[in-house]
Amino acid sequence: MIQEIFGVNHHIKNVTDGFAKDGYLAIAPALFDRVERGFETGYQQADIERGRAVRGKLSIEDAIRDVRAAVKEAQKSGLKIGVVGYCFGGTMAWLAATRIDGVAAAIAFYGGGIADTAAEKPKCPVIFQWGETDASIPKEHWEKVKQHHPNLTQHVYPAGHGFACDERASFHKPSSDQARERTIQFLKQHVG
Amino acid sequence: MGEMINLTAEDGHKLSAYIKPRRAASPAAPWS
C-alpha cells in the first residue's frame, strides 16, 4: 500500500487497515523517511506544498528500493504480492510492476508520473484508475499509456485528483466505491 | 490498528512501515 505525498498518515493507515479487513496482510512503507523520518501531514494547501517539497527531495530510485523492501517483507508470508498506490503512490505502484520482481498485480490510482514512464514494460497485470477532471493528469497521460499498453485496463471516473481519499475536498464517493470494488476484484483475481 | 515496524532497504537505509495483519477468521463459537 503506497502512500500519497502526505506520508503514512492516518488516512493511509485507515486504507491499509481496510485491505487487512478484506483478508490481506497490508504494509505501507514510509517512503518519505529518507527525507524526513516520520513525515505525515493533512490535506490543506500548506500541507500539499510541504508534501511536494519532500517528494521533490526523494529520488524515484530510492523510493523503488523502499517499495522493494516492503515487498520482501510481505513475501515472508509466502503469499502473492499486490501493490496498490495513490497519487505519488500510484506512480510507484506502476513502477513496482515494471521494476520489482515478485509483484503479482498492481493497481495505480492517478499517478502523475506514469505517463513519463509509460514505455516501461510491466512484469505483472496492472490496472489504472484515473479521474476524468484531474487537472494535474489530463487525458493525454492516459492516451500515452494506452499507446504503449493497449491491452492494460484503464478506468476513468467522473471525478478529480484524489477522488478516493475521503479526507480530501475532491473525494467522490461513488467513484471511490467503484474503484475500490474493482481493486479488490483485481487483487482476488491475481493475488488471491 | 496495526503497528509500525522497521524495514531495511537493499542499500542499508532503514525505514518505517505501517503493517496490519490479515484479519483472522472468527473462531468458532464454543457452542457450535
Whole-complex ipTM: 0.95
pLDDT digits (tens, 9 = 90+) for A138-186: 999 999 999 999 999 999 999 999 999 999 999 999 999 999 999 999 9
Q: Average pLDDT in the A64-87 region?
A: 97
* Dihedral over Cα of A106, A63, A122, A140: its sign: positive
Q: What is the pTM of this model?
A: 0.94
Residue B28 pLDDT class (50, 70, 90 cuts): low
- Output the average pLDDT for chain A: 97
Q: Do A30 and B18 touch (CB under 8 A)?
A: yes
pLDDT digits (tens, 9 = 90+) for A2-23: 999 999 999 999 999 999 999 9
Residue A141 CA to residue A116 CA, distance in Å, equals: 8
User: Counting runs of H as helices and runs of E as strands, what totals does chain B give?
Assistant: 0, 2
Backbone angles phi, psi at A47, to 5 degrees: -65, -40
Q: Do A20 and B21 touch (CB under 8 A)?
A: yes
Interchain contact A179–B (C-beta under 8 A): no
pLDDT digits (tens, 9 = 90+) for A127-141: 999 999 999 999 999
Q: Show the cell assigned to A180.
A: 475500490
Chosen for mutation from B15, B23, B26 (greatest number of chain A CBs closer than 10 Å) is: B15
Interchain contact A3–B (C-beta under 8 A): no
